[in-house]
Every structure is written in structure tokens, then in C-alpha cells.
Amino acid sequence: MKGQSLLENIYGVFFHPIETFRHLSARQEVGRSMLIFSGVYLFGALMKIALADPALPPVGIWPGTPPLNEVAGDLLGIGAIIGVILALFFLFVAAALFHLIAEALGGTGTGMGLLAALGFAFLPQLPYSIASFVAEVLRLPTLFNRLAWLGFFAWVVVLLVLALRESENLTTGRAVLALALPFMALGILTVVAAILVALVLLPSGFSF
């Protein structure tokens, strides 16, 4: 199999995602995957730092503390540094979890192969951030930003499904199921926990 450069991988994710994910997982390009994933994460974090000020009020967490909008950059800076480590950890855990589910659904890929593909699936963050910034500069309506976010979200979901499908040799339906199962489990767990908490906390009679 002919090797691809990093730039060709990036191009491929946008225009030939199926072949690219297949290639990345076959060659288990984990280093590139981590590099792209952390780079994309840092880019998003830095864009947030640049545009953070108006989102926070000019007051401290409590009296005597510096105004939030003044330390927003610092806070996000700390968040970005810690966030990269956490995000990479999250990528590892997600790859392990999805690989486990994929295996249970009949997948035949490897965990490292899936990890190599998953890191590239978040690349649409770049065009989304650029579009958001342009929208802000041009003062486009909020609707534009919402639609852009929806497009970005759908794009990432499609890429995640393709990454799962090509890395684990699953059918499209099973890849969708592998992606959705953790979220469905989380949803069910949340509902069960909410019911249990409500049962414990609800008073025996009505009270006002």
C-alpha cells in the first residue's frame, strides 16, 4: 500500500474519507492521529480564547476576585493545556470503547487502527471555526452560526461512522449502532438515575 503524507491525509478526510480512513487504520497512523486531534482541539480552544471576552460578565466569581472577562483568557489558557491532555485521554478511551462494541457487533479491526482513524474525524472543526469567525466579523445572523454548527455536527458524525466502518470492517448500520450504543446507554442510565433520585427525594405527601 502506497504511503500518504499528512497533508494528503487531511485532504483525503475532506474529499475521500472512505479510502483515507481505510488507509489510516490499515497503517495504524496513531502518531498522526494524535497530532491532528490535539492540533484541532488547540485551534478550537485558541479561537475561543480570542473571542471569549463578551461571553463572560465583568464580575468576579465572588467579591474580591478578578472580573471573569478579564481572566477569561487565563482560564481558557489553563483549560486548553489541561484540555489537550484530557482530550487525548478521551480519544484513547473512546477508541477502546468503540472497538470493544465493534468487536461485539462482529468487527474485525484493531483498536490502534480505529484510534488512527478517529483522530482525523474531528477535522471539520477547522472549517467550522473559520466560518464562525467570518460570520462574527460580517455580523451575520445567529441563525447562520447555528446552521453551521448543525452542519459541522452532522459532518463529524458521518466521519465517525465511516471511521468505525472502515477500521472495524462493519456494515454501515452496525457502525451507526456501535457509535450510538454508548450514548443510548448513557441516556438510559441518566433516566434510571433520575428516577432513583426522585424516588429518594420525593416527600411522602404534598408540600408547598
The footprint of other proteins (CB under 8 A) covers 5-12, 14-15, 43, 46-47, 50-51, 53-54, 58, 60-67, 70-71, 73-75, 77-78, 81, 126-127, 129-130, 133-134, 136-137, 139
CB closer to other proteins, 40 vs 117: 40
Name the nearest CA neighbour of 99 among 181, 198, 206, 42.
Answer: 181
Report which DSSP code applies to 67. Answer: P
- Whichever of 83 and 182 has its CB closer to other proteins, that residue is 83
Q: How far apart are CA 83 and CA 90, in angstroms?
A: 10
Nearer to other proteins, 36 or 163 (CB): 36
CA distance 10 to 17: 9
Residue owning grid cell 466502518: 165
Beta carbon nearer to other proteins, 39 or 182: 39
* In the complex, minimum distance from the CB of residue 143 to other proteins, in angstroms, rounded to a whole number: 16
Which residues are CB-neighbours of 206 under 8 A, at least 6 positions away?
none
CB of 15 to other proteins, least distance (A): 8
- DSSP H or E run through 207: none
Kindly state the smallest distance separating residue 9's Cβ from other proteins, in Å. 8
Nearer to other proteins, 101 or 123 (CB): 123
Running DSSP on this structure, what letter comes out for residue 4?
A: -
Give the position of cell 485521554: 89
We find the least distance from the C-beta atom of residue 141 to other proteins, in angstroms, to be 12
CB of 26 to other proteins, least distance (A): 18
Q: Exposed, middle or buried: residue 194 (CB in 10 Å: 0-12, 13-18, 19+)?
A: exposed
